[in-house]
Structure 1
């Protein structure tokens, strides 16, 4: 078994078709099929169900695919990092993020990273939480900051904090007459705006699930792509919107804290499982130092801080 065979297998698994995979790899189909066959013979198990259209992976094939993908990514990272050292190039750290983390601690964290590691080229890539999982496995990013708990066994995660949710309300409306906490029941039969519209699952599903668990049914649900659009529609009195407490970015709205202990959204640091690169512990330590400073954006009263690392404990249900 060699890295070439692993790349061949991953290409076939992604394409679900030998012909398309051979075209992508620029090799003829017979030798590609032969290499996959040799791989199966060496492992002693069947990896592909060849009689299905499109091709499907066996249970063993799915396990092998995930592990092969990690090995290929590490092999590519090994080549890149070695070249960088040998050519005295700057090391690159790619960080995936969801937009709402820009209203919280991400900018401060990146400033700290750049201050402590001026020779590292830090790149920021905006991706949804779901997109980050694929980007981690493909090597496009090194770490991600998102809001969805993943069941992916190849991705480790740490919940940095649970952020309270607030309800954004148009000024001048009955619900805006008070500024205290508000019950989720007030959303019964109200027009609700959720984001992002896609890809799913997303923060929108977290909000809708939270309401469904309480038996609360909005009169109408309007899905939009971005939080800025959602809050703009709230200001136009088109509905109400549930958002993280740190995302109170418009001054022409009323924000009321939702009075429910389950009405939170996690800030999650994700990285490849068993990745022991220097930046993992560094980022965790910098986040801890950052929280200890209690910056204005943190709003400590509206956040809960886990005491345990949850990276090795995949949950059975998406929570955000």
Structure 2
């Protein structure tokens, strides 16, 4: 089996159509059809169900598509890191993160790691589920997110629970006192991120649903910065982790909630069962210190 077979298969699996996949790959359809038949013969199972209007993946095909993507991502990451190492003669350490954890102590961790002149730190903004896949393919070495995801190849560590606060338009009446969830439910809410969960949007909307409250969503947006821009435009409020307060965004006030026990986790994700190398041991040591600073109130 060659890598081109996997690339061809991923294109066909995503397009569900041989003609469109051939156009995407810039090859003729007959050799693509032959390659798919050869692949099925080599794997020993049917990967597609042929239908008049296109193709449908079998259960085995769905699984093979997921694995093929991971293999190609791993190859791509390996090639990229190899080039970087050859150019800079440095060890690559890649960190995945959701934006809301980057306003606290994570920049301190990056800064301290960069003191090692033999290290090149690469940052990837990824949702927690994307971090899990990136860990499995080798794109990142550690991830920081807020959602617990069960995967046999990835272990997650709860670092600490962080209070959730409200971001509201400057001068809004919600700022008169710490609002309750019932108070907030009377106003339109900007929700982030959009897209399939689990994600922070599920966490925040769940806070209302579990209390029997309806949430009035005015807008779904992709990221935190856009959500805060809409808050500043008086489109509604949004809920954010406490460390986002450091942004000092014009037109936005941050206020604690009436219930200080409403929190969101900060979670570190790593590959399961992997013996930490020297770089990972250094990162873990720095991380332990920063978490203790947070837990004991020595928050920078």
TM-score norm. by structure 1 comes to 0.72
1:103-123 Cα offsets, whole Å, 9 max, x none, are 1122011112212x3222223
The 8 Å contact of residues 167 and 256 in structure 1, kept in 2 or not, is answered as yes
Indicate the SS of the match to 1:31: helix
Deviation at 1:154, TM superposition (A): 6.5
For residues 111 and 83 of structure 1, the distance between their equivalents in structure 2, rounded to whole angstroms, comes to 23
Q: Report matched runs for 1:118-197 at 5 Å.
A: 118-129=117-128, 132=131, 141-150=140-149, 157-169=156-168, 175-178=174-177, 183-196=180-193
Structure showing greater relative contact order (alpha-carbon pairs closer than 8 Å, 6 or more residues apart): 1
For residues 50 and 132 of structure 1, the distance between their equivalents in structure 2, rounded to whole angstroms, comes to 34
Q: Report matched runs for 1:1-320 at 5 Å.
A: 1-51=1-51, 53-82=53-82, 89-115=89-115, 117-129=116-128, 132=131, 141-150=140-149, 157-169=156-168, 175-178=174-177, 183-196=180-193, 198-201=194-197, 202-218=199-215, 221-224=218-221, 226-228=223-225, 230-231=227-228, 239-248=236-245, 249-250=247-248, 253=253, 255-259=255-259, 261=261, 263-270=262-269, 278=277, 282-294=282-294
For residues 117 and 125 of structure 2, the distance between their equivalents in structure 1, rounded to whole angstroms, comes to 22
Stretches of structure 2 that go unaligned for 5 or more consecutive residues are none
The 8 Å contact of residues 246 and 297 in structure 1, kept in 2 or not, is answered as no
Change (3 A) 1:60 1:228: closer
Deviation at 1:99, TM superposition (A): 2.0
Stretches of structure 1 that go unaligned for 5 or more consecutive residues are 301-320
Deviation at 1:176, TM superposition (A): 3.6
Spell out structure 1 runs of 4+ moving beyond 6 A: 272-277, 295-298
